[in-house]
Structure 1
Amino acid sequence: MKNIVFPMSILTASLLFTACGVSKKTYVGLQTEYKTLQTQYQDSQLQLTESRSRIKSLEDQLASERQNNADLKAAYAALQSSLDKSINQNSQGNVNISKLVDEINASNKYIKHLVETKNKSDSLNLVLTNNLTRSLSREELQEVDVQVLKGVVYISLADNMLYKSGSYEISDRADMTLSKIAKIIQDYRDYEVLIEGNTDTDPISKPNIRNNWDLSTLRASSVVQALQTKYGVDPKRLTAGGRGEYNPVADNSTALGKQRNRRTQIIITPKLDQFMELIDKAPEPTEVTPEQ
């Protein structure tokens, strides 16, 4: 940047000199040069002012950056201190972390075993159901309903097919059907069998049967004894129970509803002790004290 400064004394002397005897041409030239120099001087003053303003701005920016740098150094020191503390705590908590990892792995292994067991049970139930339905005739399937609900096989038998009218004695036409069911039960020896009797709401009028509770229980007991004595099913696997009129599947206000409610169910379930053993094998959680 050029700074051109002419003292007033020099300019005045030049003018006096011009007035004292210079030629008009020289005077005009000097006057033009004077104006040029005056313009340059004004420009130089303006540039100087702008430069000083930029210098002040740069100095302020430098001060701000220095302050930011100091703040960053302080923040870095705080982070480094926090990191050092975390590393120390982590090294102290490595044993607890290892225990947690082992516990998670054990839990995952247990869950996988439960899923595999359930899948195996579901597959066996499906095979059992398919085998049973294939063995039954078309006529039998009209009076026998086979379903799998929540991992349990339900075989529902109509009372008019299974028992003599108004009785708990097994009818002759039920023998063939029961023999097919018994064969399936024999093929799946790891399953337990509950025979459950159900009635409608009509009261029973037999001298040796007090009420529907008695009738439903006696009918279930007749099926259990037939499975044991005629078809060789291990009685340790069999349970007889009656629910009377208190487990309806249809409205007892209609004849069709009553007919559906008068049924005996053969319920085939996996042995509960196997599932209890699985529950007992569940890994116990390890108590972990968090580091302060």
Structure 2
Amino acid sequence: MKKLILLSASILILASCASKKEMEALQAKQQETEDLLNAASMKLNLCLEEKAGLTAKAQGLESQVTALNRTNGDLIKQIGDLTTLTSKGATNLEKSLESLKEKDLRIQRLQDAMSRKDSVTLALVTSLKGVLGNLADDDIQVNVEKGVVFVSISDKLLFKSGSYTITDRAKEVLGKVAKVVNNKPDFEFMVEGHTDDVPIKRAGIKDNWDLSVLRATAVVRTLQNDFGVAPERMTAAGRSYYVPVTENDSAADRARNRRTRIVVLPKLDQFYNMIEEGMKQASAGGK
């Protein structure tokens, strides 16, 4: 009996020892499983976070793609618009170049006309200076201002003091002028009478206006009646003392202001016709 009790106790002790080891093994296994579970949970959380980030990035990329597609569509439309504009611009540029070419031709024609006018004016001045070259510079002057030829003849060479009667010496000078202008039928001219500012006191002459006009008409009549200058080419004008060449403050200066001036002009209608003809030729050449 005693042996039986001891055997039972031994079996219980052995069983108790075996259960403890199994318990410890189970606890170790449980701990390992918990560790694996925790590690897996951490990895899962990381994966979820990464997925959320990738999802947000993917959405951002999709937005960019949408925006780029929209931009690309706009650019394609703009390229189409630019192509249309470029085509129109090329057409407009071609028209502008044609217009500029035509304008250049017209300007060239105008310059040619001006050159011909200047050449004729130079020839006229040369002729006048040639026939009048033996006279004193103080008595008669020939010059050009703004393309217009002026022949200025002093009062002492043409008239006696306070008179509008042409002197014999004046007729000699006017004959030389008539010789030149008669050889230039394309020119018209105006005869201007100028006085000083001293009031005129003579019967039949009201004032300096009157005297300047009477002197101009006297020159015109002489050119017409004595030297055959066509009257339709001439104009008589009086300027009184209002267009002086110097101040009327001395006898010498007043003498300079008393003068008759012949203003020689090309016939303006012929000059304009010459320009108009050049313009027509330029237009025809530009087509």
Q: TM-score, normalised by structure 1?
A: 0.65
Contact 1:159 / 1:264 at 8 angstroms: preserved in 2? yes
* CA deviation map 1:2-48 (0-9, x unaligned): xxxxxxxxxxxxxxxxxxxxxxxxxxxxxxxxxxxxxxxxxxxxxxx
The 3-state SS of whatever aligns with 1:174 is helix
Report the Cα distance in structure 2 between the residues aligned to 1:76 and 1:250, rounded to whole angstroms.
80
Larger Rg: 2
Say which structure is richer in helix: 2
Cα offset, 1:204, TM superposition: 0.6
> Which is further off, 105-114 or 88-97?
88-97
**Alignment match, 1:102:** 98
> Residue type of the partner of 2:224?
Q
Aligned in 2, Cα 1:277/1:75: closer, same or farther, shift over 3 Å?
A: farther
**Alignment match, 2:264:** 268
Report the Cα distance in structure 1 between the residues aligned to 2:150 and 2:252, rounded to whole angstroms.
21
Contact 1:133 / 1:141 at 8 angstroms: preserved in 2? no
Report the Cα distance in structure 2 between the residues aligned to 1:172 and 1:128, rounded to whole angstroms.
25
**Alignment match, 1:244:** 240
* CA deviation map 1:84-123 (0-9, x unaligned): 3222124345654444333322222221111111111112
> Residue type of the partner of 1:231?
F
Aligned in 2, Cα 1:76/1:112: closer, same or farther, shift over 3 Å?
A: farther
Contact 2:178 / 2:227 at 8 angstroms: preserved in 1? yes
Aligned in 2, Cα 1:276/1:137: closer, same or farther, shift over 3 Å?
A: closer
RMSD, aligned CA: 2.8
> Residue type of the partner of 2:170?
A
**Within the alignment, does 1:219 sit opposite 2:219 as a pair?**
no
**Alignment match, 1:57:** none
Q: 2:188 aligns with which of 182, 192, 217?
A: 192
**Alignment match, 2:139:** 143
**Within the alignment, does 1:256 sit opposite 2:256 as a pair?**
no
Aligned in 2, Cα 1:238/1:79: closer, same or farther, shift over 3 Å?
A: farther
Aligned in 2, Cα 1:137/1:275: closer, same or farther, shift over 3 Å?
A: closer
Aligned in 2, Cα 1:139/1:278: closer, same or farther, shift over 3 Å?
A: closer
Contact 2:139 / 2:157 at 8 angstroms: preserved in 1? yes
Structure 1 stretches of 5 or more lacking a match? Answer: 1-69, 284-292
Count of residues in Structure 1 that have an aligned counterpart in Structure 2: 214
The 3-state SS of whatever aligns with 1:139 is coil
Aligned in 2, Cα 1:97/1:119: closer, same or farther, shift over 3 Å?
A: same
Q: 1:131 aligns with which of 127, 132, 142?
A: 127
Report the Cα distance in structure 1 between the residues aligned to 2:71 and 2:178, rounded to whole angstroms.
80
**Alignment match, 1:113:** 109
**Alignment match, 1:166:** 162
Report the Cα distance in structure 2 between the residues aligned to 1:271 and 1:231, rounded to whole angstroms.
21
Contact 1:140 / 1:177 at 8 angstroms: preserved in 2? no
**What percent of counterpart residues are identical?**
39
Structure 2 stretches of 5 or more lacking a match? Answer: 1-64, 281-287
Report the Cα distance in structure 2 between the residues aligned to 1:177 and 1:198, rounded to whole angstroms.
18
Aligned in 2, Cα 1:127/1:275: closer, same or farther, shift over 3 Å?
A: closer
